[in-house]
Amino acid sequence: MKPILTIAKRELNGYFASPVAFVFIVIFLLLSGFFTFMVAGFFERGQANLETFFTWHPWLYLFLVPAVGMRMWSEERRLGTIELLLTMPVTPWQAIVGKFLAAWAVVGLALVLTFPVWLTVNYLGNPDNGVIFASYLGSFLMGGGYLAITAMTSAMTRNQVVAFIVSVVLSLFLILAGFPPVTNMLVAWASPWLIDGIAAFSVMTHFESIQKGVLDSRDIVYFLSLIVFSLFTTSVIIRAHRAG
């Protein structure tokens, strides 16, 4: 447990020593504010909920989360520090989890810093704070899912740009598989059970159901297993890379 914390602490310091964490947080706050108030018309709708705020998260994360996570392993490989890290008395799994938790904490911090939106909606009306809490949790889990995918792609290459692009594409697939415009298009020629089956793999389906305020165990299990599966694949990639 201690090595995980030591590694996570170092990673967090790294995020804040370089501008990565600040840039991510500032851009995330600016964009989520812009989309909520200017594009989706939070005030004009006159509804006391944060639907207009959370709707954009899958799309914001699509570009911002890979930007946070792309250096996770590719930087280790580029600098050669992976050789140092993995010859320390730590297991690869401890290193993977430590790095992931640090990046996830940055995402979580950005989410926490959106609290003025929550204050605003509570000042203006009487929203269902249970739904808002569930949506925050769902958003955090979704961010973790994207991040785990980015961890996996960044273990594949020493080039951060490649890691970024591949994880954006993978994440985009996870969005589109359950994105209504895409699924509606498929309805014409695919059987419904196939579409539902594919949509079950989508972050959209699960995030939307959490956004309704229902913390269904299936949705939580989905995000957690997405994280565990991606991190497990990360460990396989790292082992394969070392074996040469």
Partner 1 sequence: MIKVRNLKKAFGPKVAVNDVSFTVEKGEVLGFLGPNGAGKSTTMRMITGFIPPTAGEVSIGGHDIVAKPIEAKRLIGYLPEAAPSYADMSVLGFLNFTAELRGLSGDAQKKAVNRVIEMCFLESVVHQSVETLSKGYRHRTCFAQSIIHDPEVLILDEPTDGLDPNQKHEVRTLIRTMGEKKAIIFSTHILEEVEAVCSRAIIIDRGAIVANGTPAELKQRSTLAGAVTLRLTDGSANAVKGKLDGLTAVDRSVIVSESPLIVRAFPRKQIASDDLAKAVGEVALKERWSLLELSTEAGRLDEVFRSITLPDTKKEDAK
User: Of 6 and 55, which has the nearer Cβ to partner 1?
Assistant: 6
User: Of 86 and 195, which has the nearer Cβ to partner 1?
Assistant: 86
One residue of 60, 86, 170, 224 binding partner 1 per CB under 8 A: 86
Hey, which residues between 90 and 129 contact partner 1 (CB under 8 A)?
90-91
Asked if 23 is part of the footprint of partner 1 (rule: CB under 8 A), the reply reads no
User: Of 33 and 92, which has the nearer Cβ to partner 1?
Assistant: 92
One residue of 1, 38, 46, 89 binding partner 1 per CB under 8 A: 89
Give CA separation, 32 vs 24, 88, 167, 171, in Å.
12, 41, 21, 19
Nearest-approach distance from CB 74 to partner 1, in angstroms: 14
DSSP one-letter string for the chain: -HHHHHHHHHHHHHHHHSTHHHHHHHHHHHHHHIIIIIIS-HHHHT-SS-HHHHTTHHHHHHHHHHHHHTHHHHHHHHHTHHHHHTTSSS-HHHHHHHHHHHHHHHHHHHHHTTHHHHHHHHHHS---HHHHHHHHHHHHHHHHHHHHHHHHHHHH-S-HHHHHHHHHHHHHHHHHTT-HHHHHHHHTTS-HHHHHHHHTT-HHHHHHHHHTT---HHHHHHHHHHHHHHHHHHHHHHHHHHH-
Residues 6+ apart with CB under 8 A from 160: 70, 71, 74, 75, 78, 154
Asked if 2 is part of the footprint of partner 1 (rule: CB under 8 A), the reply reads yes
Nearest-approach distance from CB 109 to partner 1, in angstroms: 19
Asked if 22 is part of the footprint of partner 1 (rule: CB under 8 A), the reply reads no
Hey, which residues between 184 and 243 contact partner 1 (CB under 8 A)?
242-243
One residue of 23, 26, 39, 84 binding partner 1 per CB under 8 A: 84
Asked if 7 is part of the footprint of partner 1 (rule: CB under 8 A), the reply reads yes
Asked if 81 is part of the footprint of partner 1 (rule: CB under 8 A), the reply reads yes
User: Of 60 and 85, which has the nearer Cβ to partner 1?
Assistant: 85
Binding segment for partner 1 among 36-44, 77-85, 102-110, 130-138 (CB under 8 A)? 77-85
> Can you give the binding site for partner 1, defined by CB under 8 A?
2-3, 6-7, 10, 13-14, 17-18, 79-81, 83-84, 86-91, 242-244
